[in-house]
Amino acid sequence: MIRKDPLPDFNRRSLLRGAAALGGLGLLAPVLSACGAAAEPAAGAGSGAVGAGKTIGVSLNGLVEYTKYVAQGIAKAMEGTGYQLKVVQANFDVQTELKNLESLISQGVAGMVVLPNTVDTVLAGVKQAKAANIPTGIALWASPGPLDEYVQGVSFVDSVGGGTMIGDWLKKNGKPGKVIVVQGVVGQGFSERIDQGLDASLKGSGFEIVVREQGFFDRSKAVGVVENALQAHPDATTVVSYAAAMGNGISAYLKQNNITGVTHVTSDADTEMLTWLGTPYLAATRYYSAAETGTLAAQAVRAAIEGGTPTFKNAVFQDMMTSKNKDELIAKAPLNHPQFESVLNGL
């Protein structure tokens, strides 16, 4: 089915300025593809379905398994409706992120769900969205801050609590000594909150953080941090990585170099990470579902569009996961929704 009705009028100059940053459009039933074709409506989503004729913009900070799961969770929240999704991603670049947000706003989307790269760039975007009466949900929110007055709902991942969980688990299961920490992107608020909880938990415990550097959610960069850190501190006992996207690369590096005397703990989860969990190269993860963060933020946006009262702070389930309890935790909070993989077609 080809969509014949045009998107709402928008400033042509703004579109041209942002088009290069779009990188592709997502595909969900019914969702526009990059070339303008639309999929058939989802089951039960006829022309009279809620959201028919409306587009939800989805801004991802980059494209890794985690962010794909966030998009799948957003798609899950739209299941059975007539909403279309337009998905863009920023390659973890602040300028691209802002251009993406400005382009979605200029195209007159009915709402937006944002997975932030940095708070500062997203703040500029959500201010513009509010001025245009476009409700926005944030799919990763660490604590109260400047975004709050401009958005309708957030997925609250308690990262201070998550850092505390990791520290408490290490004290029970790890070997005291030098700790290497691989952060994500400083400036999101995410890594800093994990730092806060981890530091408080490990204080006076015999675990000493000797390296703390950003890995930018990139497995190669994360491996570089760990490789350099182990050269400087060959007696390190622990590696903590703040995302499975990085933890997978670190696990592979440890295996390749037959390093089995280091306790590696990561955060969140993807399907590759599950294959490492329980091996000598990955002991545990602070688990929460990326898909759930997308679903909760999207539900808040839907409520705002549809005249309801959005819940602003939506807590995301988290717990320490090992090979022994992984099935139980995934049953509580599904890892992903692979039936919606096509939402990322074209990216």
Shared-domain flag, residues 267 and 319: no
Q: Residue 229 belongs to what domain range?
A: 159-287
Shared-domain flag, residues 125 and 149: yes
Shared-domain flag, residues 262 and 318: no
The verdict on residue 304 lying in a domain is yes
The verdict on residue 223 lying in a domain is yes
CATH number for the domain spanning 113: value is 3.40.50.2300
User: What would the mean pLDDT of 236-263 be, rounded to a whole number?
Assistant: 97
Shared-domain flag, residues 269 and 334: no
Shared-domain flag, residues 212 and 280: yes
The verdict on residue 119 lying in a domain is yes
The verdict on residue 100 lying in a domain is yes
The pLDDT of residue 26 is above 60: no
The verdict on residue 5 lying in a domain is no
Shared-domain flag, residues 23 and 55: yes
The verdict on residue 191 lying in a domain is yes
E strand intervals along the chain: 55-60, 84-89, 111-114, 136-141, 153-156, 178-183, 208-214, 238-241, 263-267, 284-288, 313-315, 318-321
What is the rounded distance in angstroms from the CA atom of residue 99 to the CA atom of residue 90?
9
Q: At what angle do helices 12-22 and 94-106 cross, to 10 degrees?
A: 130
Shared-domain flag, residues 169 and 263: yes
User: What would the mean pLDDT of 150-178 be, rounded to a whole number?
Assistant: 97
How much is the pLDDT for 45? 57
User: What would the mean pLDDT of 240-261 be, rounded to a whole number?
Assistant: 97
How much is the pLDDT for 190? 86
Which residues, other chains included, contact 120 with Cβ-Cβ below 8 Å and sequence gap of 6+? 94, 187
b/e burial code for range 313-340 (CB count within 10 A of at least 16 → b): ebebebebbbeeebeebbeebbbbbeeb
The pLDDT of residue 328 is above 60: yes
My answer on whether omega of the bond before 30 falls inside 30° of 0, hence cis, is: yes
What is the rounded distance in angstroms from the CA atom of residue 93 to the CA atom of residue 340?
26
The pLDDT of residue 315 is above 70: yes
Under 8 Å between Cβ of 232 and 195: no
Summarize pLDDT for 109-139 with one digit per residue, the tens. 999 999 998 888 999 999 999 999 999 999 9
The pLDDT of residue 32 is above 60: no
The verdict on residue 4 lying in a domain is no
Please, what is the average pLDDT of the chain?
Answer: 88
The pLDDT of residue 18 is above 90: no
User: pLDDT grade, residue 36 (50/70/90)?
Assistant: very low
Shared-domain flag, residues 167 and 87: no
User: pLDDT grade, residue 187 (50/70/90)?
Assistant: confident
Summarize pLDDT for 69-87 with one digit per residue, the tens. 999 999 999 999 999 999 9
Shared-domain flag, residues 175 and 280: yes
Shared-domain flag, residues 178 and 126: no
Domain count, the chain: 2
Decide which of 315 and 31 is more confident.
Answer: 315
The verdict on residue 1 lying in a domain is no
Q: Please say which residue of 238, 258, 287 terminates a domain.
A: 287
Shared-domain flag, residues 172 and 274: yes
User: What would the mean pLDDT of 137-165 be, rounded to a whole number?
Assistant: 95
Summarize pLDDT for 211-247 with one digit per residue, the tens. 999 999 999 999 999 999 999 999 999 999 999 999 9
Quick one: what percent of the chain has pLDDT higher than 90?
80
User: pLDDT grade, residue 188 (50/70/90)?
Assistant: confident
Shared-domain flag, residues 38 and 137: yes
How much is the pLDDT for 185? 87
